[in-house]
Amino acid sequence: MLSKRFWVFVLLLALAPGLWARAPLSYAPPSCKITDRYGRPLRNILSGADGVLVPVAIEDVSPWFVLAVLAAEDKRFFEHGGVDIKAAARAAWQNAAGGQILSGASTITQQLVSASRPKDKSLLSKIKQVIDASALEAQMSKEQILEAYFNTINLGGNIYGAEAAASAYFNTTARALSTAQAAFLAGVIKSPAGYNPRKNFTAAKKRQKQVLGLMLKNGYVNQNLYQAALDEQITVNAQNPALSAPHYAEFIKTKLPACRGEARSAIDGNIQAHIEALLPAYVGMFKQNNLTNAAAVVLDNKTGEVLAMAGSAGYFDERAQGYVNGALALRQPGSSLKPFVYALALENGYTANTKIEDEDKFFSGGYRPRNYDEGYHGAPTLREALACSYNIPAVQVASVLGADKILDILKRAGFDSLNKTAQDYGLGLALGNGEVTLLELANAYRALANGGLWSPVVLSLQPALKTAGAPRRVFDEKTAFIITDILADNAARAAAFGMNSPLNMPFNFASKTGTSKDYRDNWAAGYNARFTIAVWTGNFNGEPMRRVSGITGAAPLLRDIAMYLDAAYPSAEAFARPPGVKDEDLRLPPAKAAALAAAAPERKEEGITFPQNGDVFMLDPSYPKEGQQILFKAAAGGDWFVDGAKLPCAARAQSCFWPMQKGRFEVKLDADGKTYKVNFEVL
Q: Read off the pLDDT band of 204 (50, 70, 90).
A: very high
Most confident stretch, 288-302, 326-340, 466-480, 646-660: 326-340
Q: Is pLDDT above 60 for 365?
A: yes
Q: Contact 459/252 with Cβ under 8 angstroms?
A: yes
How, if at all, do strands 453-454 and 472-473 pair? antiparallel
When pLDDT is cut at 50, 70 and 90, the band that residue 339 belongs to is very high
Q: What is the pLDDT of residue 123?
A: 59
Using DSSP's 3-state secondary structure scheme, residue 18 falls into helix
Helix (H, G, I), strand (E, B) or coil at 523: strand
- Reported as a single tens digit per residue, the pLDDT across 497-535 is 888 888 988 889 999 999 887 778 899 999 999 999 999
**Do 285 and 302 meet the contact criterion of CB atoms below 8 Å apart?**
no
For residues 222-238, average pLDDT: 92
CB contact at 8 A, 522 and 549: yes
Least confident of 45-54, 225-234, 502-511, 603-612: 45-54
Q: How confident is the model at residue 102 (pLDDT cuts 50, 70, 90)?
A: very low
Instruction: Check residue 582 and give its pLDDT.
Output: 84
pLDDT at residue 604, as a whole number: 52
Neighbours of 161 (CB within 10 A): 26
Opening angle at CA 463, ends 460 and 464, nearest 5: 95
Summarize the confidence of residues 353-368 as an average pLDDT. Answer: 91
Instruction: Output the CA torsion 417→419→420→422 (10° steps).
Output: 90
- Cα 345 from Cα 363, distance rounded (Å): 18
Q: What is the mean pLDDT of the chain?
A: 83
pLDDT exceeds 90 at position 332? yes
Q: Taking a C-beta distance cutoff of 8 angstroms, is the pair 515, 523 a contact?
A: yes
pTM, two decimals, is 0.67
pLDDT digits over 534-573, tens only?
999 988 888 887 766 657 778 889 999 999 999 888 876 7
- pLDDT of amino acid 573: 77
Q: How confident is the model at residue 103 (pLDDT cuts 50, 70, 90)?
A: very low
**H-run or E-run covering 447:** helix 438-449
Beta bridge partners of 654: none
Residues 6 or more apart whose CB falls under 8 angstroms from that of 418 comprise: 407, 410, 411, 425, 429, 434, 435, 436
- The reported pLDDT for the residue numbered 623 is 53
Domains, the chain, with CATH or none? 275-586 (3.40.710.10), 608-682 (2.60.40)
**Beta bridge mates, 437:** none
pLDDT for residue 101: 44
Highest mean pLDDT among 88-92, 136-140, 210-214 belongs to 210-214
- DSSP secondary structure of 182-219: HHHHHHHTT-TTTT-TTT-HHHHHHHHHHHHHHHHHTT
- Give the whole-angstrom CA distance, residue 100 versus residue 163: 36
Could you tell me the pLDDT band of residue 4, with boundaries at 50, 70 and 90?
very low
- Give 599-634 pLDDT, tens digit per residue: 544 445 578 888 888 777 777 665 556 557 788 888
Euclidean distance between CA atoms 148 and 214, whole angstroms: 23
Which range, 171-175, 228-232, 675-679, is most confident? 228-232
* CA–CA distance, 629 with 619 (Å, rounded to integer): 9
Can you tell me the mean pLDDT for 633-638? 82
Which one-letter DSSP state was computed for residue 122?
A: S
Q: How confident is the model at residue 16 (pLDDT cuts 50, 70, 90)?
A: very low
Give the tens place of pLDDT for each residue, 398-449.
Answer: 999 999 999 999 999 999 999 999 999 999 999 999 999 999 999 999 999 9
DSSP 305: B
Are the C-beta atoms of residues 445 and 532 closer than 8 Å to each other?
yes
Q: How far apart are CA 132 and CA 494, in angstroms?
A: 80
Backbone φ and ψ of 663, nearest 5°: 140, 180
For residue 25, pLDDT over 60 is answered with no
Distances (CA, A) of 416 to 154, 482, 653: 45, 25, 50
pLDDT tens digit sequence for 79-101: 887 776 766 666 555 554 444 44
Q: How many H helices and E strands in the chain? A: 23, 19
> Between these two residues, 96 and 680, which has the higher pLDDT value?
680
Q: Which residues contact 424 (CB under 8 A, 6 or more apart)?
A: none
